[in-house]
Amino acid sequence: MATIDDFHLLDIRVGTIVAAEPFPKARKPAFKLRIDFGAEIGVKQSSAQITVHYTPEALLGRQVMAVVNFPPRQIGPFISEVLTLGVPDAQGEVVLLHPDQAVPDGGRLF
């Protein structure tokens, strides 16, 4: 069982996607995202396997949730700095998590 202290170790923030492009060098279909987490954290990049339900154009301006305090991860020639969060649909494809109202970028999940 996890404790509330374990949960507090994760820094999950809201950010706005400011750039999205195909990532053809990824092993599985993915996009390279640049996400603005506000003044405190800034813009970070993420690789996300979300090509079934989303297009790069549709992602621009969309708010998403991401873990911002994991170490950077090398994904092919790309460094992913945050883990963009989603849940599987009925077919196992990723659906992004996001607030149901616009909120300031950088807000922490609690």
Q: Answer yes or no: is 70 within a domain.
A: yes
Nearest-angstrom CA–CA distance, 16 and 4: 27
CB 62 within 8 A of CB 11: no
Domain assignment of residue 62, given as a range: 4-96
Read off the pLDDT of each residue in 34-59 and give the average, rounded to a whole number: 97
Nearest-angstrom CA–CA distance, 102 and 110: 17
Domain count, the chain: 1
Distances (CA, A) of 66 to 15, 39, 90: 8, 16, 22
Q: Answer yes or no: is 80 within a domain.
A: yes
pTM of the model: 0.95
Q: Quick count: other Cβ atoms within 10 Å of Cβ 56?
A: 15
| % of the chain beyond a pLDDT of 90 | 95
pLDDT higher than 90, residue 107: yes
Q: Answer yes or no: is 105 within a domain.
A: no
- Per-residue pLDDT of 51-97, as tens digits, reads 999 999 999 999 999 999 999 999 989 999 999 999 999 999 999 99
